[in-house]
């Protein structure tokens, strides 16, 4: 029997709705920790379940993590006609800001629980939710209605409710974008945002929701420069910022980079990957499914070990069987909650 290679500290994508022979060869040799799925990978429930199973068979780990971004609103990889449309975070924020924090949190929790039900049925075990970035007037619309509000306490409360809903449904949450993307004036998919705000103000505002949610199992970095702290490097590749993430914020979960192929970062994929690990990321994330880029990231990703291995193992240990729900009743109740908002 061929031994299963130890996983390497990166998460990769794939190009389409099934694995190509070249992708099978790559995945079998490179042994990524996980796979992330996008709309290009999603056609039907049976197809997604088969893709997830094929990935796990190739890497030889039945529990290999499979991730997606299922926030609701604009960021929803699984959608109609096979899966429900879910509202964005702003819907829950408005309810909280109208004075019904408990109702907003209950709805955020139930919505996430239903999303977890959708994902777990396909074998997807990690959802890149919640977004704990603040909604701030100067911020670029890339966050916008994805935010649970502008108050750090409210954002943390509603984000925690969503995280609890996912965990209750047998899916792990990813806290993003550490230590805060809401103040950024540019879309990091396209260019590098620079935030000029003082460290003291950042700690009191942008960083605070993440500090309140520091016990969550997984997190994702922000491709944002905080000029008052490190004027030369975005959080993903800044050792100074990632020391704040582990220190002031107190996050000890598994920390993945945001997508290393995004326009905010400069240099080769190999250089970006090395810089992310040097700064303190546990996992490198690459999403676009281009095999040449995937191979470049893999070539600079170490075998998962040490503190990174411990944190990733601790995160996966928090996966528990889903609490039973009666799906149609829960969906009806959630729809009534949202209609009342």
Whether 127 is a known active-site residue: answer no
DSSP 8-class letter at 35: E
Q: Give DSSP secondary structure letters for 309-339.
A: HHHHHHHHTT--PPPP--HHHHHHHHHHHHH
Query: Helix, strand, or coil here: 101?
Result: helix
- The gap from C-alpha 184 to its chain's centroid, in whole angstroms, comes to 18
- The gap from C-alpha 203 to its chain's centroid, in whole angstroms, comes to 22
- Estimate the crossing angle of helix 101-120 against helix 89-97, to 10 degrees: 160
Q: What is the 3-state secondary structure (H, E, C) of 153-168?
A: HHHHHHHHHHHHHHHH
Whether 258 is a known active-site residue: answer yes
Among 145, 206, 230, 258, the active-site one is 258
CB of 276 closer than 8 Å to CB of 284: yes
Nearest C-alpha neighbor of 37 from the set 210, 237, 289, 306: 289
Q: How far apart are the first and last CA of the chain?
A: 57
- List active site positions: 189, 258
């Amino acid at each position: 029997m061929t031994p299963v290679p130890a996983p390497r500290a990166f998460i990769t994508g794939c190009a389409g709705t099934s694995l190509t022979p070249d992708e099978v060869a790559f995945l079998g040799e490179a042994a990524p920790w996980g796979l992330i799925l996008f709309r290009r990978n999603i056609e039907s429930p049976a197809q997604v379940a088969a893709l997830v199973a094929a990935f796990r068979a190739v890497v030889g780990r039945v529990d290999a993590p499979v991730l997606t971004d299922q926030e609701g609103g604009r960021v929803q990889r699984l959608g109609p006609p096979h899966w429900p449309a879910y509202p964005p975070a702003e819907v829950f924020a408005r309810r909280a800001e109208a004075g019904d924090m408990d109702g907003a949190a209950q709805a955020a929790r139930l919505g996430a629980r239903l999303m977890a039900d959708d994902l777990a049925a396909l074998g997807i075990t990690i959802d890149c939710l919640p977004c704990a970035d603040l909604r701030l007037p100067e911020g670029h619309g890339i966050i916008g209605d994805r935010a649970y509000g502008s108050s750090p306490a409210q954002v943390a409360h509603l984000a925690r409710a969503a995280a609890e809903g996912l965990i209750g449904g047998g899916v792990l949450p990813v806290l993003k974008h550490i230590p805060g993307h809401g103040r950024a004036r540019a879309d990091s998919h396209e260019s590098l945002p620079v935030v000029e705000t003082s460290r003291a103000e950042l700690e009191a505002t942008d960083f605070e929701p993440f500090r309140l949610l520091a016990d969550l199992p997984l997190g994702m970095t922000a491709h944002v420069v905080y000029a008052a702290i490190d004027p030369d490097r975005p959080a993903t590749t800044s050792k100074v910022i990632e020391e704040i993430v582990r220190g002031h914020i107190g996050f000890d979960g598994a920390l993945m980079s945001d997508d290393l192929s995004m326009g905010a970062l400069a240099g080769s994929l190999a250089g970006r990957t090395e810089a992310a690990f040097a700064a303190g990321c546990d996992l490198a994330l690459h999403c676009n499914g281009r095999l040449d880029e995937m191979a470049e990231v893999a070539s600079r990703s170490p075998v998962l070990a040490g503190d990174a291995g411990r944190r990733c193992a601790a995160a996966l240990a928090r996966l528990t069987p889903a609490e039973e729900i009666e799906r149609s009743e829960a969906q009806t109740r959630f729809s009534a909650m949202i209609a009342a908002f």
